[in-house]
Structure formats: structure tokens, C-alpha cells
Amino acid sequence: MAKRVCVIGTGYVGSVTGAVLAELGHQVTCVDSNNEKIQQFANGPPFPLSEPGLPELIMKHRGKNLFFTTDLPGIISKSEVVFVCVSTPTKMEGIATGSFDMTYVDSVARSIAAHSRGDMVVVEKSTVPLRTAERIEEIFNSVSSPSQRGKFHVVSNPEFLAEGTAVKDALQPDRILVGTRPNDEYARKFMNELYSSFPSEVILHTMIWSSELAKLANNAFLSTKITQINAIASLCDCSGADVTEVSKAVGMDNRIGNKFLAAGIGWGGSCFGKDVRALIYLLRHFNLEAEARFYQAAHDLNYLLRERFVRRIHESLYSLPNKTVAVLGFAFKPNTDDIRDSPAIDIISMLAAEGANVRVVDPEAGHKVKQVYGDKPFAYNILVVESVAEAVDGADAMVLVTDWDEFKNLDFKAIAAKMKKPGWVFDGRNICTPSKVVVSGLNYYGVGRGVIRTQS
């Protein structure tokens, strides 16, 4: 049976969650405090964010069973379930630095408490600290009217969507994790009905604390797996081994698996850093210092890789002032325009601050370059261009930072003809075939593959 769903927050998580729930047949209204965003979703394209498959789903359901509004009280009062998808950024200073900033979740919980009518399932979709449900319940119990008490059912149903494949991930999930309070049969049944389009074995019911923690654990596993192969890559650079071969060999062990073993300049994005920092905070909160240090080391190594990569470029070019460097990629990964914690930002900042002239090209995120560097003293060193050909024209080096498909089969002969000599390719994602680069007359460095010099 179709449920009346309210999704609060229309970022990557909320907009995909809303559109996919509409695709499952539910009656969905997405709410956001940002009116401009809502207007774009209600009237676009263009939409406020780029995610493959999302525009198609929105166009298919909008005006039928998918709506967009800023009227939070109005829509809460008509809904049976609310998905909380507002931002939970890292708290950057003061008390509890490193943990999630819960300001928005707190304020949304108060609105839900004030405007709900009857039984209401409240789904934590945003990644939240352990035992957030307790905090939300406390708000419900103290803010809602006496007749409404006991009618709230807090559920943890974390998102595992990876940007760029979020719609596909949501429609073909590895698992749908549903954490509920003991004996909350209403919530369990409700969530089973909500997701009844999926085979029942995909739905994993757990206690609510396990579900909250599983999201953090999931991202901790994925991010440290990448960091492990990057640590091995550093050793490859020193020893002559090739990390892509090591990675292949390791990944063929079924127990390890071949995914998330691509070495390079490390992970970015809005989730891994934030979630690992929150996990470290949590461990320290419980005095688990040795465990906290384990994740802290992995976290710090990930960010060190960005600096190392720039040092490598500096070392190879001898000096950076007045050198022209073409940077291919600005998004934190391909198939998205999201630049949050993108390694490209740190890399471009370091290059430009050293005096290099940086030309940036990205198929989707180029327009965000100005937003990031607009007021920086070195901003005049950074230029956004439309094509790889334009970026490499007269350049001393080409630096690959995002593994877009467009950058995977470049015509290095044509590129070398446009670049200065000796020209360099710094492959931060190991997407080039080194032999094709060097045969074109360019020197090559890949992370964990070492330097291969051109013969010509």
C-alpha cells in the first residue's frame, strides 16, 4: 500500500531517496529550507545537483506522486513517515570537535514533534552519531502534545548510496538496513510494507544502535581499504613494484575482493572523512584510544597523500612558479558535480600557491572552481577551461585527479604535440597506460607505479 512520505532535506541523499520512494509507488513530498533549491526541483531541469538517472525519475513522477515544497509543518501533518536527510557536517571547532554537528537534525526533530498527527515513523537517513534515536525521542517526549506522546517510532535506515551510482544503488541495494527499538512491531511492519517491492531477504532488521553504528562501520571499512592499498602504493614507489599489479593479485583473493583497491591520491567526498572523524570521536569518547589511533592514522595518511603528490610534481618539474599545469578533474569522483573534500581542491591550492598557472577542466564540476578559489590570494593563477586540448596547450604537466571516463583514453600523441618539453603526466588515479604515454614523448608518474621516462 502506498505510504504518505515526507523527505526533509533535498541534498544528494534526500533527493535520491525521495525520487526512489516515488518510483516504488509511494506518495512523496520533499521539503527543504532552501527555497531556491525547491523551486529548481519543482520547475527544472536544470536541477540543483547532478546525479545520473535522477532527472528521469523526477520527470517521471513529479506532479503525480512526487512533490516539492518548503512548507515543512503542512507536509509533516499529512505524512505517516518522515525521512530525515538534512546535513550532519563535521563539527569543526569547540566542544565535541570532530563529531557530527547535530544542529539541523535537532531542529527538524522539533518540527516533527510539533506538527505530527497520529502515528509517525521517523527515519534517520542522515548519518548520525550512535544513540541519536534516544536524543530524538527525548525531544518528541518533551515537545509534542500529550495526545501525540508514544506515537513516534524512530527507525534507523542508513543510506549506502555512492554518488554517481546513487539511483542504481537505491533501486538495487545490497541490503536495506532497518534498525528499530525492541518491540516496536508497528515500525518493523511499516518499513517492511514501505520496501515491499524488494525481496524480503534484502531487508536486514537489527536493533537500532547496531544500525546506526553499521553505517559508520561500513564507511570505515571502505575508506581504510583504500588507504591500505595506498600505503602499499607508497612502498611500490620506493621499490619498483607496480601497485596496479599488487592490487590485482590481492583482489583475486575472494576474502578480500577486488573493489575499493584502486590506489591513487586517496579518497574524498562528503562522507568518508566526516564518518571516520565521527568514529574516532566516538572511540575516544569511550576511552578506546588504541582503536581511535588506528583510524586516526588511516585518516591522516589519506590527506598526506595529496601533499605528497604535489611534492612529487614539484620535484619532477624542479620549480613551480610560472609553470603551466593542466589539472584534469575537479569533482571528488566521476559522474558527479560534487566537490566536497575533493582532493583536487587541495592539490590545485598547493600548486597555485607555489606560483604555478593551473588550468582546470572537469565535465561537470568546472563551474564550481570560482566558488572555491574566488577570494584566495592565488586565485588569479587558476583558470577554468572547457576541454583537455585547451588545458594542455603549452602546459608543462598534465595532472589527472578525477577518473572520469572522458580522461581514460586520451590521445597522448596529440597532447604531447601541444605540451612543452619535457612534458609530464602525473596520474593520480592510475587510469593511463604508461607505455602509451611514454611512447608519445611524455614522462609518466603513476601513484605506486613510479616514474617512467620517455625514450624520445
Catalytically active residues are 159, 215, 271
Q: If binding is defined by CB under 6 A, does position 162 make contact with ligand UDX? A: yes
Closest separation in Å from C-beta 260 to ligand UDX: 4
Does 267 contact ligand UDX by CB under 6 A? yes
Q: Tell me, what DSSP letter sits at residue 160?
A: -
Query: Which residue's CB is nearer to ligand UDX, number 31 or number 416?
Result: 31
Would you count residue 337 as binding ligand UDX (CB under 6 A)? no
Residue 94 host element (H or E): none
Interface pick for ligand UDX out of 22, 28, 58, 108 (rule CB under 6 A): 108
Residue pair 47/54 in contact (Cβ under 8 Å)? The answer is: yes
Quick check: 261 binds ligand UDX (CB under 6 A)? yes
Stretch that binds ligand UDX, among 6-14, 137-145, 358-366, 430-438 (CB under 6 A): 6-14
Contacts (CB under 6 A) with ligand UDX, residues 201-220: 219
Long-range contacts of 38-47 (CB under 8 A, 24+ apart): 38/10, 38/68, 38/69, 38/70, 41/10, 41/15, 41/68, 42/67, 42/68, 42/69, 47/15
- Asked if 160 touches ligand UDX (CB under 6 A), the answer is yes
CA–CA distance from 213 to each of 12, 128, 220, 275, 278 (Å)? Answer: 21, 9, 10, 10, 11
Residue 343 CA to residue 332 CA, distance in Å, equals 6
d(CA 32, CA 13): 12
Report d(CA 91, CA 93) in Å as an integer. 6
Choose the stretch contacting ligand UDX; rule: CB under 6 A; options: 161-169, 179-187, 281-289, 372-380.
Answer: 161-169
Residue 47 contacts ligand UDX per CB under 6 A: no
Q: Judged by CB under 6 A, which of 5, 22, 27, 37 binds ligand UDX?
A: 37
The dihedral formed by the CA atoms of 149, 151, 152 and 153, expressed in degrees to the nearest 10:
140
Contact pattern from residue 59 through residue 98 relative to ligand UDX, giving x for each residue in contact according to CB under 6 A and a dash for the rest = --------------------------xxxx----------
Task: Tell me how far, at minimum, the Cβ of 252 lies from ligand UDX, in Å.
Answer: 15
Segment contacting ligand UDX (CB under 6 A): 30-38, 75-83, 315-323, 367-375?
30-38
In 3D, which of 374, 369, 322, 378 has the Cα closest to residue 344?
369
CB nearer to ligand UDX: pick between 88 and 244? 88
Rule CB under 6 A: choose which of 43, 107, 409, 435 binds ligand UDX: 107
* Residue 49 vs 352, nearer CB to ligand UDX: 49
Number of residues that bind ligand UDX (CB under 6 A): 41
- Could you say which of 23, 51, 80, 163 contacts ligand UDX (CB under 6 A)? 163
| Closest to ligand UDX by CB, 345 or 442 | 345
Could you list the beta-strand ranges (E) of 291-336.
324-328
The one segment of 248-256, 268-276, 282-290, 314-322 that binds ligand UDX by CB under 6 A:
268-276
Which DSSP state fits 406? Answer: G
Q: Output phi, psi for 227, to 5 deg.
A: -65, -35
Based on CB atoms, which residue is closest to ligand UDX, 266 or 363? 266
User: Which range of residues in 11-19, 60-68, 185-193, 358-366 is near ligand UDX by CB under 6 A?
Assistant: 11-19
Q: Which residues pair with 244 in a beta bridge?
A: none
Shortest spacing between CB 71 and ligand UDX, in angstroms? 12
Cis bond before residue 343 (omega within 30° of 0):
no
Residue nearest to ligand UDX (CB): 11
For the chain, the 3-state helix, strand and coil shares in percent, each to the nearest 5, are 45, 15, 40
* Nearer to ligand UDX (CB atom), residue 54 or residue 438: 54
Residue 40 contacts ligand UDX per CB under 6 A = no
- Sign of the Cα pseudo-torsion (372, 378, 380, 383, in order): negative
Min dist. Cβ of residue 229 to ligand UDX (A): 7
Q: Does 260 help bind ligand UDX (rule: CB under 6 A)?
A: yes
Write down the least CB distance from residue 237 to ligand UDX, Å: 16
51 binds ligand UDX (CB under 6 A): no
Residue type, 266: G
Report the candidate in 223, 302, 220 with the shortest Cα–Cα distance to residue 259: 223
| Residue 445, strand partner residues | 426, 451
Angle at 291 between CA 99 and CA 85, to 5 degrees: 30
Backbone Cα Rg of the chain: 24
Contacting ligand UDX (CB under 6 A), which of 18, 268, 423, 446? 268
User: What 3-state DSSP class applies to 179?
Assistant: strand
Using the contact rule CB under 6 A, the part of the chain among 4-12, 180-188, 200-208, 317-325 near ligand UDX is 4-12
From the list 333, 334, 31, 21, the residue with the least C-alpha distance to 170 is: 21
Residues binding ligand UDX (CB under 6 A): 8-14, 32-34, 37, 85-88, 104, 107-108, 126-127, 159-163, 219, 222, 226, 260-262, 264, 266-272, 332-333
